[in-house]
Amino acid sequence: MSEPPTVDDVHALALAMPHVTVVEGPKGNAVYQVGGKSFVFFRTPRPDARDPDTGEKYTDVIMFWVGSEEDKDALVHDPSTPFFTTPHFDGHLSVLLRAAHLDQVSREELAEIVQDAWLARASERRRTRWLAEHS
C-alpha cells in the first residue's frame, strides 16, 4: 500500500494541471486558479470550521470545487470520506477537507478530486482538450 497523500501532494497535483496560476491569499495561503477561477484554495482559519470539542478554528482546511451539487452531496454524505461542508458553503459548489485527514483518502482519490476541481472551473475549451488527452 502506498503512503497517504500529503499537503505537498495537493500542491503538486494542482500545479500539474494545465494553465494554472497560483495566487497568494490574504494570509499567504495558496489559491490555485485556472482562467482566473479558483479550484483549490487553502483556507485561513474561519469561525465556520471549528473543532467540536475544543472550539478551536481549524487551521488546515482545503477547499476543492466540485462540478455539481450532486457531486458535493456524494462526497459530503458518504461516511467513508473525510469531506465536509459548513452552512457558510450552502449553495457553493465546493467541499472542504482538513489536511490532517488527507490520510483518509488515497493518492489516486486525491488526484481525482483535484482534477475534478480543475474541470469544474476550467473553460469548456480547456476542459474538452484535457478530457480528450486523458480519456
pTM of the full structure = 0.93
Q: Could you tell me the CA-to-CA distances from 113 to 47, 72, 75, 78, 110 in Å, in that order?
A: 25, 11, 10, 15, 5
Instruction: Label residue 75 exposed, middle or buried (CB < 10 Å: 0-12, 13-18, 19+).
Output: buried
Q: Which pLDDT band holds residue 129 (cuts at 50, 70, 90)? A: very high
Instruction: Kindly report, residue by residue over 69-124, the tens digit of the pLDDT.
Output: 999 999 999 999 999 999 888 899 999 999 999 999 999 999 999 999 999 999 99
Instruction: Kindly report, residue by residue over 109-121, the tens digit of the pLDDT.
Output: 999 999 999 999 9
